[in-house]
Amino acid sequence: MTYCVAVKLNAGLVFLSDSRTNAGLDNISTFRKMIVYEKPDDRFMVLLSAGNLSISQSVREILQVEHLKEHEHVEALTIWNAKSMFDAARVLGSAIRRVYERDADALKHAEVDFNLSLIFGGQIRGEGMRLFKMYSAGNFVEATDETPYFQIGESKYGKPVLDRVITPETPLAEAAKCALVSMDSTMKSNLSVGLPLDLVVYEADSFKSEKIVCIDHDNPYYKMMHNSWGQKLREVFDSIEDPVWDDAHTETPLKMPATRHAVLKKISTAEEKLI
């Protein structure tokens, strides 16, 4: 399994992925889930993948040479000459469908699902940044101000902190920190997600990124963040009063519903009065 997250902000984009594809007592595999496509001063794009590794690798290979040609006398469309991120996403969708047409029947015969999900985002000169979540059918949805981030893979563990922190106005450094906390929370609860991590932070209208890093066990910032998050979370938890059942020790007692025994006793008393 895996966990990938991407965030679209007014200030730029943040992409983060783990690298674990299999985890067992004696079998742990690592493959990179992130690939960067960069053409200086023209376009910067990042692709994150989750699902069946053979399918995602096939899609990535085809994408390098994929041509989407709708009319005979029109130049074939690729991610390198697309005029918009929407068109680049269409090329990616076409690559997914080509792999499906080639491999789906054989996979089905082997009782293997065509399981693939991708996040694709970036910026092409002439338009703003865009971020898409791609599905196994080659279709996609786009991030909005109301939904400024996408997750794929083991998403449930890292979602709460993103919901509480991320807005379009969030600064890039803070969003990168939030993404790392989201990843750390996921790794804490799920063995199938693990280091090393790949992190890319892209500033709007730069068409390049100097903030691309691979994070392993020895990364000092990650170690500090991991230890601090666990410690601070425990401190906040300990600062909240324990629940009590009366007004003796707190201004906000926990009002418990009547127990089954109390309810039955009240019913019995009511029946006696009726008799």
Please state the domain extents for the chain: 3-235
Cβ atoms of 63 and 49 within 8 Å: the answer is no
Burial of 12 (0-12, 13-18, 19+ CB in 10 A): buried
- pLDDT of residue 233 exceeding 80, the answer is yes
pLDDT level of residue 228 (50, 70, 90 thresholds):
very high
- How far apart CA 177 and CA 237 sit, in angstroms, is 21
C-alpha distance from residue 93 to each of 10, 50, 88, 200, 233 (Å): 26, 15, 9, 23, 41
The per-residue pLDDT for range 30-40, each reduced to its tens digit, is 788 999 999 99
pLDDT at residue 25 above 90?
A: no
On whether the pTM is more than 0.85, the answer is yes
Give pLDDT, residue 9.
98
Nearest-10 Cα torsion for 77, 82, 84, 88? 60
Backbone angles phi, psi at 63, to 5 degrees: -60, -30
Which CATH number describes the domain made up of 3-235? 3.60.20.10
User: pLDDT tens across 86-110, in order?
Assistant: 999 999 999 999 999 999 999 999 9
Instruction: Please name which of 145, 139, 161, 127 lies closest in space to residue 5, comparing C-alpha atoms.
Output: 161
pLDDT of 262 higher than 90: no
Query: 22 CB contacts (<8 Å, ≥6 apart)?
Result: 28, 29, 192
pLDDT for position 64: 75
